[in-house]
Amino acid sequence: MAGQKVIPSAHLLELFMPHRTDEKRMLNVAQKTAELGFYRGLELNIFFDRYNSMYIRDFLQGNNIRGATFATPYLKERALSLCSADGDIRKKSVNFTIELMQKAAENGYKSFGVVSGDDPGDAKRKEALKVLADSLGQLAERCKALEMNLTLEPLDRYAYKKQLIGPMKETTMWFEAVHEAHPNTYIHWDSAHEALSQIDLMLSLEYVRPYLAQLHLCNAILDTAHPCYGDLHMDVGVAPDFRTDGFLSPQVGAQILRKVASFDKAAGVEETYVSVEVLGHPGDDLWLKEKNSREFLQSCFKLADLEI
């Protein structure tokens, strides 16, 4: 019988971004979130301290929670790119990402996510795609040795983030060869990137279907004249109606979940995880953001008539 169970996850790296470098605080965040009894996956920061690393690994294993992380903020703060035409920068980017992977594996994580890097423009895009494919190949081999999956998150090329990897149809045609050579590579789908690119969400999911390992329900304001236009990882509103100026509603989220649940799992994927992506800012009530995000996700599951 076709179909799969979609598993709820918490994107704590994004929700608690102001605490990212405070490892002790993030350990407490992970523990408190797990005690809620809703999430079966946690997307977390990387723990560099040896003892914190041991703690989070044992915690995830002991609670049967799948851990995941993303290289994105670590590469961004160092101005590194996996598709850079500058050989030295690209080498530094790959080597640093491998260092992060090693730490992620020590943390007990099973999924490691990256983004492509900035789009260099029409004239240089073909070469950048070749460079990115080579980078992903090197990273995938290391991930395989560390018993992790590697996920690539397409952003948008023309709307806001202006990254190399954007339009989903084109992305999946290019990614086919990458996945064939390295079967532990997958795609991480994000609703905001697709909506900002004016791509039909259901069609986009059909394109990504063979490679889909995890997804984010992310809200965005699509009106270019709005002062808060763009991929800002905005809030999803407050129960019961979750009304915002963005496109994402519980009804849209439920449609996405139903679509994903109708797919068979991608080959090699144990479970497909979904989380709500909301960015926490310094001074925010971060636990209120978590509560609203969790209630939004629960509402999506309920409207989709899917078991949690």
pLDDT tens-digit profile of 205-263?
Answer: 999 999 999 999 999 999 999 999 999 999 999 999 999 999 999 999 999 999 999 99
- Chain CA centroid to CA 20, Å: 16
Q: Which residue has the tokens 């690539």?
A: 152
Q: Could you list the mean pLDDT of each consecutive 10-residue stretch along the chain, which spans 308 residues?
A: 89 98 98 98 98 98 98 96 97 98 98 97 97 98 98 95 94 98 98 96 98 98 97 97 98 98 97 98 98 98 96
Tell me the whole-structure pTM to 2 decimals.
0.96
Check if the beta carbon of residue 180 is closer than 8 Å to that of residue 187: no
Q: Domain segments of the chain: what residues?
A: 6-303
pLDDT of residue 137: 98
Helix axis angle for 201-208 and 250-261, nearest 10°, is: 30
Taking CA atoms, 42 is separated from 63, 104, 125, 178, 230, in Å, by 11, 13, 34, 27, 25
Q: What is the pLDDT of residue 250?
A: 98
Would you state the pLDDT for residue 1?
A: 47
CA 92/CA 270 separation, integer angstroms:
32
113 Cα distance to chain centroid = 7
Question: Which residues, including other chains, have CB under 8 Å from residue 272's CB and lie 6 or more apart?
Answer: 4, 6, 7, 212, 213, 214, 215, 260, 263, 265, 266
Per-residue pLDDT, 140: 98
User: What does pLDDT average to over the chain?
Assistant: 97
Q: Which CATH superfamily is domain 6-303 in?
A: Divalent-metal-dependent TIM barrel enzymes (3.20.20.150)
